[in-house]
């Protein structure tokens, strides 16, 4: 199939209507299986008891939060260089999804932290850089909503996302360095006493499910973005009237 055809907004909007519907159901089923696997089948942890099971949401959400940022920056780069409309929409629609993954990772991390560390929040390197990632997402969303001209806004936010992507490793490593300087490895040291394969398999599965979930949501959001941009066009009216 020709790539320029997929990039056509009208083509994408019409073709993905059914796909998006089936993907939603597919994701729901996969999620139910994953939750059952993680919460019932996977064995209990000898150190943390049952509380470790929140990992099956927390860890994939944390991975996806970073991955979404990378996708946002890469699609933003493509949008800036080749001026492909659908990439512009994809790039900006990644931001709220990524922000939500970040919030999920932070909140589940806090819930997990209470029984294992005894406190909801420590200024640990990973928590802090996740929080900063949330600030980066919020900055992009706020900047986008401040503009009236949305095409202009996408160009600006893509640029910010690219600069942010270059900055994320720098921020991450400086925060990590700051953390080792300030507090000894008291809290997070026991994090990885290499988990058993029966625990890791559901985690891998949940990571894949989260990716499919991301795909579902991004398709839905891109369709929404196309609708917002093209709602006054003739083909959209004709299509919706059918």
Partner 1 sequence: MITTIVKKECSLYFRNLNNMFLPLIFFFLIISIFPLVLGPEKILFDKIIPGVIWITSILTTLLTSNNFFKDDYNNGIIETYMTSESSVELILFLKIILCWIFTCFPIVIFIPLVSLLFDIPFQISLVILLTLIIGTPVLISIGIFGSALTLGLAKNNTLLPVIILPFYIPVLIFSASAIEAVSVGLPYGMQIYILLAFLFLVLPIMPYLLKYTLGISINN
The C-alpha atoms of residue 35 and residue 32 are separated, in whole angstroms, by: 5
Select the residue interacting with partner 1 from 21, 22, 120, 177 (CB under 8 A).
177
Q: Which two tokens stand for residue 236?
A: 């959209």
Q: Nearest approach, Cβ of 143 to partner 1 (angstroms)? A: 6
Task: Identify the residue among 22, 178, 227, 235 touching partner 1 (CB under 8 A).
Answer: 178
Nearest CB to partner 1, comparing residues 93 and 129: 129
What does each C-alpha distance from 237 to 138, 159, 170, 223, 241 come to in angstroms? 33, 33, 47, 15, 6
Residue 103 binding partner 1, by CB under 8 A: no
Is 147 a binder of partner 1 (CB under 8 A)?
yes
Out of 107, 160, 165, 212, the only residue in the binding site for partner 1 (CB under 8 A) is: 160
Find, among 94, 72, 69, 98, the residue nearest to 169 by Cα.
69
DSSP-assigned beta bridge partners for residue 11 = none
CA distance 151 to 233: 16
Should residue 96 be labelled a site residue for partner 1 when binding is judged by CB under 8 A?
no
One residue of 38, 109, 164, 225 binding partner 1 per CB under 8 A: 164
| Whole-angstrom distance, CA of residue 178 vs CA of residue 199 | 32
Q: Which residues bind partner 1 (CB under 8 A)?
A: 132, 135-136, 138-139, 142-143, 146-147, 149, 152, 155-156, 159-160, 163-164, 167, 170-171, 174-175, 177-178, 181
């Amino acid at each position: 199939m020709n790539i320029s055809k997929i990039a056509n907004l009208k083509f994408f909007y019409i073709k993905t209507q059914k796909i998006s519907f089936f993907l939603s159901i597919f994701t729901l089923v996969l999620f139910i299986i994953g939750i059952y696997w993680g919460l019932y089948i996977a064995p209990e942890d000898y150190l943390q008891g049952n509380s470790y099971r929140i990992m099956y949401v927390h860890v994939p959400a944390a991975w996806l939060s970073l991955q979404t940022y990378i996708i946002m920056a890469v699609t933003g780069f493509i949008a800036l260089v080749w001026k492909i409309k659908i990439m512009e929409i994809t790039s900006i629609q990644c931001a709220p999804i990524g922000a939500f993954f970040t919030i999920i990772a932070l909140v589940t991390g806090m819930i997990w932290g209470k029984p294992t560390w005894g406190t909801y929040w420590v200024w640990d390197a990973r928590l802090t850089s996740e929080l900063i990632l949330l600030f980066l997402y919020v900055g992009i969303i706020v900047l986008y909503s401040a503009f009236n001209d949305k095409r202009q806004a996408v160009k600006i936010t893509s640029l910010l996302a690219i600069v942010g992507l270059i900055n994320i490793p720098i921020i991450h490593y400086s925060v990590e360095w700051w953390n080792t300087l300030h507090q000894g490895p008291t809290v997070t040291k026991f994090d990885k006493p290499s988990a058993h394969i029966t625990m890791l398999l559901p985690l891998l599965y949940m990571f894949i499910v989260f990716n499919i979930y991301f795909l579902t949501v991004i398709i839905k959001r891109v369709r929404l973005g196309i609708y917002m941009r093209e709602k006054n066009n003739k083909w959209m009216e004709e299509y919706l009237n059918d």
